[in-house]
Copies of this chain bind each other. A is one copy, B any other.
């Protein structure tokens, strides 16, 4: 026992010494401070001007003097800028990519300044840690929430707000831009619109265009909100919000973003209430229905229904480069590209990911395609990202 203890002690000591020797003087402690970025006005790519635009942002690691160690993280449909760390000193890490962002991790906060911002029309408008501008925001011209009068915004607009945020910190170029799903669309748009500012592109579970399948899938997500009588053409801010419709929309998002392997390995055919047999009671339910409902209800509590409709539209309008042709939009990308995807993705078809890679590669740009395994389908790009750690580490160097 004594020798085992000694060995353990030695290992701990050496590991500690190694960490001490390898670490910079400053090391991120994992606690995140949410900050906000304000613009007096923002003009969309479509030509509409929105006054008083504010978005939240957070960063991990330190910006170096040359301001050339920046990695921008762009978030997914239901996500926020909270990619890593925790908000409270004693809290557990709650950032969605905490597995790969931190001291010594592939996106190493000892080396990189990693920054992430809430998009416009962010879904989680009622989350106290989220700051966004969208239909739920007050239109300063009327003093009332914008509702459906808010201009349509696109992935390109999300990118332009990020560009302004970065420029406000004196950042002109990105060591890398990385995002999952809707975040991949933003990352691709960055590399296409600003090829001289993006040194590396990492697209996770996303592709170069919203294909017809995605147009229809997104349309299905929007439908339950418009069906809810409380939606009232988007004018619900002085009354009851369309919570039932929002919940059903979020249930579809959860279901589509997963895969039958997850459903069939996680759930069974149990009833929601063991006293109510679904074969005897038309209003009884199965446990999986109740669980999906509970997840949706929790998410709905911090979400805004109109914001979901605007996010659906932002994704639907996406074609890399936002120009006449997808081929041109993707050929404009010069950054070496890493594309991580799942063969079980039910949102971004694997064929579309591979087709995007081919178009980026068409003029000689280097593209690496790698699959993510797991039973979550699309969501493996978020929850199973750690399996790409070695690939990410190598790609970023």
- Known contacts A251-B223, A282-B148: A211-B313 contact under CB 8 Å: no
Residue A61 lies at the interface, judged by CB distance under 8 Å to chain B: no
Any B CB within 8 A of the CB of A154:
yes
A63 → B minimal CB distance (Å): 34
Taking CB atoms, residues of chain B closer than 8 Å to A224 are: 223-224, 227, 248
A269's partner among B210, B255, B266 (CB-CB below 8 A) is B210
**What's the least CB distance linking A282 to chain B, in Å?**
5
Closest B residue to A234 by CB, please name it: B282
CB atoms of B248 and A152 under 8 A apart: no
Question: Which of A6-14, A212-220, A363-371, A380-388 lies on the face that meets chain B?
Answer: A212-220
Instruction: Mark contacts of A276-316 with chain B using CB atoms, 8 A cut-off: 1 yes-contact digit, 0 otherwise.
Output: 00111111011011001000000000000000011001001
Q: Is A89 an interface residue (CB 8 A)?
A: no
Q: Write out the residue numbers on chain B whose beta carbons fall within 8 Å of the beta carbon of A310.
A: 282
In the bound complex, CA of A102 to CA of B370 (Å):
50
Which B residues are CB-close (under 8 A) to A283? Answer: 148
A210 to B270 alpha-carbon distance, docked (Å): 12
* A212→B267 CA distance, assembly (Å): 6
Selected contact of A266 from candidates B212, B217, B223, B281, CB within 8 Å: B212
For A137, the chain B residues whose CB sits under 8 A away are none
Cα distance A316–B282 in the bound complex, in angstroms: 11
C-alpha spacing A215/B229, complex, angstroms: 27
Cβ distance A28 to chain B, nearest Cβ, rounded Å: 39
Is the CB of A24 closer than 8 A to any CB of chain B?
no
Give the interface size bracket for A toward B: 35 or more
Is A104 in contact with chain B by the CB < 8 A criterion?
A: no
Which of B213, B244, B316 is close to A264, meaning CB atoms less than 8 Å apart? Answer: B213
A252 at the interface (CB under 8 A from B): yes
B-side contacts of A266, CB under 8 Å: 212
Q: Report chain B residues within 8 Å CB of A223.
A: 224, 248, 251
Q: A212-B266, A278-B317 are contacts. A255–B217 as well, Cβ < 8 Å?
A: yes
Docked complex: A181-240 residues within 8 A CB-CB of B:
209-213, 215-217, 219-220, 223-224, 227-229
Please determine whether B216 and A313 come into contact, CB atoms closer than 8 angstroms: no
Q: How far is the CB of A49 from chain B (nearest CB, A)?
A: 14
Given contacts A212-B266, A213-B260, A260-B213, contact A316 B286 (CB under 8 A): yes
- The answer on a CB contact under 8 Å between A279 and B154 is yes
Q: Does A346 contact B (CB under 8 A)?
A: yes
Q: Is A51 an interface residue (CB 8 A)?
A: no
Closest to A291 in B: B216
Report how far A248 CA is from B252 CA in the complex, Å.
Answer: 13
> In this complex, what residue of B is CB-closest to A281?
B152
Shortest distance from the beta carbon of A170 to any chain B beta carbon, whole Å: 32
> Is B263 a contact of A212 with CB atoms below 8 Å?
yes
Given A220-B255, A255-B220; A215-B154 close (CB under 8 Å): no
Contact for A46 among B244, B279, B316, B317, CB less than 8 A? B279
Q: List 30 A-B contacts (CB under 8 A).
A: A148-B283, A150-B282, A152-B279, A152-B281, A152-B282, A209-B269, A212-B263, A212-B288, A213-B263, A215-B269, A215-B286, A215-B288, A215-B289, A216-B255, A216-B289, A216-B292, A219-B286, A219-B288, A220-B251, A223-B248, A223-B251, A224-B227, A227-B227, A227-B228, A229-B229, A264-B351, A264-B352, A279-B317, A282-B313, A286-B316
Name 15 extra pairs, CB < 8 A, besides A46-B279, A282-B313.
A152-B280, A152-B281, A209-B269, A212-B268, A212-B269, A215-B286, A216-B289, A220-B252, A224-B248, A260-B349, A260-B352, A264-B352, A278-B313, A278-B317, A279-B313
